[in-house]
């Protein structure tokens, strides 16, 4: 298995006309969050198929894919990490290449399955998420909160709430959405826990964050938060 094989298989799965659509969707224009990213037009289901095929590729070969300027190639390399047996080598590979996890889809598809699942059983490493939450990199900040999905699914909310508090005043909309999404997932497990956080911060948090957080509330309760009457 070679890096060139992955790239060849991805190119064989291009959907004509999709590249331009994806470049608009992922904001690749000048001054946008994905500025300069290159898409060739491969959709996620096809990327997953290629990733599964090459899940046993040597990490030295995978390192030649993760650094690609082509978005789908980086995404495939990151997704391959989620299909491998999770061990320290995979986690270190992911962390060593964190700068290439540079769009929200790559992050959302992979970080909780690699960093999150590993840190679930190795809590001594969770301090890294707090470092990411304070990073100048918006992508590292998103990784910090999205990784918490692994903890939330086990009913462990402590780090997710602490990181949400750190990121509450973040300037970027993509972080607002991510924090709101995480709060919503906490609420699905335990709405009282989510509301305890919301009652403390909902009047101060960005509107997008709040809307995502209360999306599943019943209508009267949702409106009371939106109207500031809770």
* 3-state secondary structure labels for all residues of 144-173: HHHCCHHHHCCCCCHHHHHHHHHHCCCCCH
Share of the chain above pLDDT 90, in %: 98
Average pLDDT over residues 165-191: 96
* pLDDT for residue 230 is more than 80: no
Q: Give residue-wise pLDDT tens across range 104-131.
A: 999 999 999 999 999 999 999 999 999 9
Residue 1 banded pLDDT, cuts 50, 70, 90: confident
Average pLDDT over residues 24-35: 92
Residue pair 197/164 in contact by the 8 Å Cβ criterion: yes
Structure tokens belonging to residue 22: 């994806």
Residue spans per domain, the chain: 1-84, 102-230
Residue pair 7/65 in contact by the 8 Å Cβ criterion: yes
Beta-carbon-side half-sphere exposure of residue 148 (alpha carbons within 13 Å): 30
Among 71, 72, 163, CA closest to 115:
163
For the chain, how far is it from start to end, CA to CA, in angstroms?
57
Type and span of the H or E element at 227: none
pLDDT the model gives residue 81: 97
Average pLDDT over residues 153-158: 95
CATH topology of domain 102-230: 1.25.10
Average pLDDT over residues 126-141: 97
Could you tell me the pTM of the whole model?
0.93
* pLDDT for residue 229 is more than 90: no
* 3-state secondary structure labels for all residues of 71-127: HHHHHHHHHHHHHCCCCHHHHHHHHHCHHHCCCHHHHHHHHHHHHHHHHHHCHHHCH
* pLDDT for residue 3 is more than 80: yes
């Amino acid at each position: 298995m070679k890096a060139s094989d992955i790239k060849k298989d991805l190119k064989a799965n291009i959907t004509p006309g999709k590249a331009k659509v994806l470049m608009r969707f992922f904001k690749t224009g000048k001054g946008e969050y994905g500025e300069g990213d290159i898409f060739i037009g491969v959709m996620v289901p096809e990327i997953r198929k290629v990733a599964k095929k090459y899940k046993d590729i040597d990490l030295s070969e995978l390192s030649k894919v993760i650094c690609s300027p082509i978005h789908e190639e980086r995404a495939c390399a990151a997704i391959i990490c989620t299909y491998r047996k999770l061990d320290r080598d995979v986690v270190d590979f992911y962390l060593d290449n964190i700068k290439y996890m540079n769009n929200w889809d790559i992050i959302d598809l992979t970080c909780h399955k690699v960093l999150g699942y590993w840190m679930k059983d190795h809590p001594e490493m969770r301090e890294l998420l707090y470092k990411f939450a304070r990073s100048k990199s918006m992508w590292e900040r998103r990784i910090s909160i999205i990784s918490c999905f692994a903890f939330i699914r086990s009913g462990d909310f402590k780090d997710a709430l602490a990181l949400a508090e750190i990121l509450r005043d973040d300037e970027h909309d993509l972080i607002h959405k991510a924090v709101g999404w995480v709060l919503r997932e906490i609420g699905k497990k335990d709405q009282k826990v989510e509301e305890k956080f919301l009652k403390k911060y909902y009047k101060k948090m960005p509107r997008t964050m709040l809307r995502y957080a209360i999306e599943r509330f019943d209508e009267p309760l949702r409106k009371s938060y939106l109207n500031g009457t809770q």
